Amino acid sequence: MAILDRIREPRDLDALTIAECEQLAAEIREFLIAAVSRTGGHLGPNLGVVELTIALHRVFQSPRDPIVFDTGHQSYVHKLLTGRRDFSALRSRGGLAGYPQRSESVHDIVESSHASSSLSWADGISRAFARRAQSDPSQQHRHVVAVVGDGALTGGMTWEALNNITDDNDRNLVLVVNDNGRSYAPTIGGMARFLNSVRSKGAYRDLQEGSEKLFSRLGTPGRTVYRAARGAMRGLASRASDNQDLYSNLDIKYLGPVDGHDLHAVEEVLRQAKGYGRPTLVHVITEKGRGYAPAENDVADQFHAIGQIDPGSGEPVEAVTGRSWTSVFRERIVELADADERIIGITAAMLVPTGLDALAARHPGRVIDVGIAEQHAVTSAAGLAYGGLHPVVAVYATFMNRAFDQLLMDVALHRAGVTFVLDRAGITGPDGASHNGVWDLATLQVVPGIRIAAPRDAATLSEALAEAVAIDDGPTVLRYPKGAVGADITALRRLDDGVDVLHESAADGGGQRDVLFVAVGPMAVVAIDAAQRLEAAGITTTVIDPRWVVPVAGSVVAEAERHRLVITIEDGIRVGGVGTRIRQAMRDAGVDTAVSELGTPDEFPDHASRGQLLADAGLTADRIAASVSEQVRGTRVPVARPHERS
């Protein structure tokens, strides 16, 4: 019987020997490679934390001792050790989430997959435990553990937390820095250089290299003796490294660096940290993609996040077909930068995923990677604009939430010409609630002077990006979803203020039509389909694409006045969305046409496919056509599907 099959909950680990734990680590890697290659997911990060996670659960008593992962994509091993073995539908509806999720297990504490927040969580939890323990003996001796990737240390929130953690030492708090030299890609900045200097110091390097050579030459009995000796050596190295330069200035106990794949060493240092009774930082060095050659050899991201792959070769099972939205941006930003030396890219540790890698390759020195520090990225961009450049800040839409204040007060208030490119906007799907970018339209449009574009296809993305970087008197935003971009949708005509008419029925004698669809970005495909279904049922329609959805173009209001019903369709939340903005513009102009705003509900979308989540929100052509038909005629009438038309 495999050791993994005997692990139903963390305390099943207690009876295992170190040798059995090492065998368990090998089994877990085999399981992860086989399972994640079928579903896709974050493979590299989890291969790197196998021994560390085993040691954490042997030393601490989860969930009594909460373990907070930062970021949560490194929690697959944690899921396995807490009884979740069915990875067959990982990141799909009904299956395991790709991040910690409280509804799955009492062992999952923090669900957000955004980085740099774990130390603040741990600070708050440990303060609560310490306070409650004063009057409740059952709360005594509880520990809190934060596992923070070295990339997350580039976020300012981490340092705000450290400042407060070291202000009150009377609590049981262990901070584990999982240092693999990478976030998505190699970690950058001064913190990365500091950690690299620690890894490179003679004591750790010599011990690492020498012990590996010796171990390879020993037989089985000698290896058993060696493990015990090596553990003692690691402990001495940890104690000798107490209060490393940086952390001593913060008045926090420091242990490390420790080889994160040496179970005995990791357990020993964690037990040391547990026994101090004060905040302690444990520096653990791991290898992303450990034990899987295709991941270890992947220079770009070491299989950080993968689709379905062949587990033997690591090659994708199916070739990617069609252009992605990101690739369109990647190509166009280089063209624009070739023609305009003022353009400079900014990324927050997401150079390749956001498509700025091509610009960095073409124009070295014109892309700045600030690490996981979106707030700094935005205010720095304001400074770049003041200095005469035009920054293009490319981030995932959901991460833009973190820098709202900087956009409002540093960019917009100062009328700085900064372009924000929001990848993964709207419904994104399998990565779950914290990665679905459904809030950007509702939150960003309240910023005075902002201009927001939502391209419907590759052509309008390229066009809007060129228009955006030409604007220097305020912020511009370009937002688009994840995945394939699809075919271009040619407009019937463009109105004087840039609004595209994509579809229209013949008007009645008074020049009116029944329904005006205002489509936001990629929802144009759905709007046209719904309009054609209604037209087949005798209901006249028009479909327009504003392209720039904020501010509301005058022709949108004019078109609304010529229709009996306006339907706005967006893949962001309805509350405060573009539909609400259009309704306000119509009211201001005295246009009383009825408006129905379609969008996603004000809920956190669970992990599922984009299609499933759009269907849940009623954002499919057949659902929209049936609902609109009922509104127009007062009763539901059959609406022919496209393939049923003669």
The β-bridge partners of 347 are: 369, 394
247 in a known ligand binding site? no
> From the candidates 22, 268, 287, 374, which is the catalytic residue?
374
25 in a known ligand binding site? no
β-bridge pairing 451-453 and 548-550: antiparallel
9 in a known ligand binding site? no
Find out whether 145 and 65 touch, Cβ atoms under 8 Å: yes
The encoded tokens of residue 175 equal 């901070």
H or E segment at 77?
Answer: helix 76-81
Burial of residue 276 (CB within 10 Å: 0-12, 13-18, 19+) is middle
Active-site residue flag, 535: no
> From the candidates 79, 274, 288, 332, which is the catalytic residue?
288
> How are strands ordered across the β-sheet holding 513-519?
493-494, 500-504, 541-545, 513-519, 563-573, 594-600
363 in a known ligand binding site? no
Q: CB neighbours of 447 closer than 8 A, spacing ≥ 6?
A: 407, 408, 412, 475
CA distances from 569 to 520, 534, 631 (A): 6, 16, 16
560 in a known ligand binding site? no
Find out whether 268 and 231 touch, Cβ atoms under 8 Å: yes
Q: What is the distance between the alpha carbons of residues 442 and 171, in angstroms, rounded to a whole number? A: 41
Active-site residue flag, 288: yes
374 in a known ligand binding site? yes
The β-bridge partners of 516 are: 542, 566
The encoded tokens of residue 9 equal 């909950």
531 in a known ligand binding site? no
128 in a known ligand binding site? no
151 in a known ligand binding site? yes
Listing DSSP states for 105-167 in one string gives: -TT-------TT-HHHHHHHHHHHHHHHHTT-GGGTT--EEEEEEGGGGGSHHHHHHHHHHTT
Active-site residue flag, 253: no
2 in a known ligand binding site? no
> From the candidates 58, 79, 230, 402, which is the catalytic residue?
402
Enumerate the known binding-site residues: 73, 113-115, 150-152, 180, 292, 374
Enumerate the known binding-site residues for Mg(2+): 150, 180
The residues annotated with a catalytic role in the active site are 288, 374, 402
Enumerate the known binding-site residues for thiamine diphosphate: 73, 113-115, 151-152, 180, 292, 374
